[in-house]
Amino acid sequence: MVRPSQQLHAAREPATAQAAATLILLRDSPAGMEVLMTRRSAMTRFAPGAFVFPGGRVEEADVQARPIALRRRTQSRHHLAHAVAAVRETFEELGVLLAEHADGRPVSAQEVAALDRHPLPALPFAQQCAARGLRLSTDRIWAMAHWLTDLDLPKRFDVLCMVARMPEGQQPKADEVEQFEPTWVRPADALAWHEDERFPLIFSTLRTLQRLAAFDRVDAVLQACAREKPLWQSCPRGAWLDGREVRYMEHDAPYGELALTCPDGQLQHSLDWQSLRPVPLLRNVRRLTAPNAGAMTGPGTNSYIVGDAQSGYIVIDPGPNDFGHVGRLWRATGGNIRAIVCTHSHADHSPGAQPLQALCQNVKPPILGLPSAHTARSNARFVPDRSLENHERLVLEGDPVAEGPHRRLRHTLRVLHTPGHAANHLCLFLEEDGLLFSGDHILNGSTTVIDPPDGNMSAYLDSLDALDATCEELQVEYVLPAHGHVLGFARNAIARLKAHRLQREAKVAAALRQNPHGTPEEWLSVAYSDTPRALWPVALRSLQAHVDRLRELAARRAEIQRANAA
């Protein structure tokens, strides 16, 4: 856990989220599956003018209406109350009612029209239905998503987003007070119109439509939701990008960085990549991105500055030998650098070490890391002033803390050898704050290249296991990669990365079985058929690493079989 004293922004208590429900009505059409949407009044405080799905708060009356609500055996009481609210809100806003008689006959359009749908009817909604012998068809409503309104917003909702098939024989009619223009639309069309600024959408609706666009039939949606568990849940986070407010979900690349820098949802962080000044991530961690953006480096190489003015600083990955970048690192630290650590010897990570060291004339900081192996390419030769031992700790003593004048903040970086991307690769853990500086072993937005002979796929996968074990031990939450934004959910990121590598290895193995005497280029077209051809020259390196590993594993199995036979 990050120490509260190192957070950039004062703690705040987000507004309490109120229980709410929304219902997406679906129908099949010759053009494909359609969803029912309606336009909010321009005078409403929430989402004025936007196209939305019907919904609203879960009220106590919805909880009390359970006796007339049909329930699946696997449907929870919590889900049932939300489903009742969704039925009620859909009736009030669009005049569509999911209900049936005791003998199973669906409610008719005439019966629906006879009900009072005003927000404050003379007889409450559930009592109107009960008086006519109607039961709510809540057993045909399925949870699809669980949305929590963004932490920075003053009014928040805890929303269960549900789906159901549109009842036959009914036609939507907006209340003409809060809702207008009932519209049946294919999700893909709604997204295209939104892109053309003809169909305003709020963030959660936009992302829901993106998910729904993958389905072509109503049955497919309902089957996907049949597990009684939402397909996803999210509490989006906001930031600034290009001078405008943007939102992200948990699987989006910037989400982890926003959770680290603004844990209570403060709308304070800018995601613009820039190389002129360090970006504060915590009080004791800053990131300065080198101006070497490219296909292999993404937005550039991230150099990290760890420590404070009292403790001095450790610079991780000083980057390429770029005069401006090295100078900015020196100025950001005031020259008070206690050590320079290179996670590995590649040309975008270590060449800046010696020029940065040379600028520190008062105290010469040691350059630390692991020397490059004989397998390294000629542009990746590196010899540190001192080699770092596996599990060695680098300690900075920082500013005095409130508990007493003789106590100081500590910033402890634990070293972990992680060969794989390069033979001399290492990662660092900031123990007190649960951070992993992953170098190129874990990236945000792409997978790292394993380039034999200096790169080794078996070593890479073993190092992922070692990283996972240390993350579990130190309760590491965030990964700070050498390229890209901070990653959250560290152990999940490691698990996804390993699963991806093993899935790719299975494709490589299938290509080898299909064409055992083929060339790497021929295997590539099969194993990396889902990868853009422009990336194939780079992918060819990792393919060779997978081939080497498969042959290594086959040789081990053969050796074991010979030993058993003997």
Mean pLDDT by 10 residues, the chain (566 residues): 94 95 97 96 85 95 94 92 96 96 94 88 91 96 97 95 97 90 96 95 97 97 94 97 96 97 96 96 98 94 96 97 97 97 97 97 93 92 96 89 67 98 98 97 94 96 98 97 97 96 96 94 94 92 96 90 84
Q: How far apart are CA 6 and CA 450, in angstroms?
A: 35
Residue 35 falls inside a structural domain: yes
Give yes or no: residues 434 and 557 share one domain.
Answer: no
User: The pTM is what?
Assistant: 0.92
Give yes or no: residues 283 and 213 share one domain.
Answer: no
Residue 506 falls inside a structural domain: yes
Question: Mapping DSSP to helix (H, G, I), strand (E, B) and coil, where does residue 366 land?
Answer: coil
Note whether 493 and 442 are within 8 A (CB).
yes
Residue 360 falls inside a structural domain: yes
Q: Which of 348, 226, 354 lies closest to 297, judged by CA? A: 348
Residue 311 falls inside a structural domain: yes
Please tell me the predicted confidence (pLDDT) of residue 449.
95
Cα-flanking dihedrals φ and ψ of residue 86, to 5°?
-65, -40
Question: Total domain count for the chain?
Answer: 3
Burial call 223-259: b when 16+ CB within 10 Å, e when fewer: eebeeeebbbebbbbbbeeeeeebbbbbebebbbbbb
Give yes or no: residues 215 and 334 share one domain.
Answer: no
Give yes or no: residues 147 and 287 share one domain.
Answer: no
Residue 284 falls inside a structural domain: yes
Give yes or no: residues 274 and 389 share one domain.
Answer: yes
Q: What is the CATH number of the domain that holds 444?
A: 3.60.15.10
Residue 3 falls inside a structural domain: no
Residue 183 falls inside a structural domain: yes
Give yes or no: residues 331 and 462 share one domain.
Answer: yes
Question: Which residues are CB-contacts of 452 (< 8 A; sequence separation ≥ 6)?
Answer: 541, 544, 545, 548
Give yes or no: residues 203 and 289 share one domain.
Answer: no
Give yes or no: residues 166 and 46 share one domain.
Answer: yes
Domain with 445 in it? 265-490
Give yes or no: residues 361 and 485 share one domain.
Answer: yes
Residue 256 falls inside a structural domain: no
* Ramachandran class of 73: left when φ > 0, alpha when ψ lies in -120 to 50, beta otherwise: alpha
Please tell me the predicted confidence (pLDDT) of residue 119.
74
Please tell me the predicted confidence (pLDDT) of residue 405.
56
What's the maximum distance between 2 C-alpha atoms anywhere in the chain? 90
Give yes or no: residues 135 and 112 share one domain.
Answer: yes
Among 490, 519, 554, give the residue marking a domain's end.
Answer: 490
Give yes or no: residues 370 and 298 share one domain.
Answer: yes
Q: How far apart are CA 37 and CA 24, in angstroms?
A: 8
Give yes or no: residues 534 and 480 share one domain.
Answer: no
Please tell me the predicted confidence (pLDDT) of residue 408.
78
Q: How far apart are CA 303 and CA 313, in angstroms?
A: 12
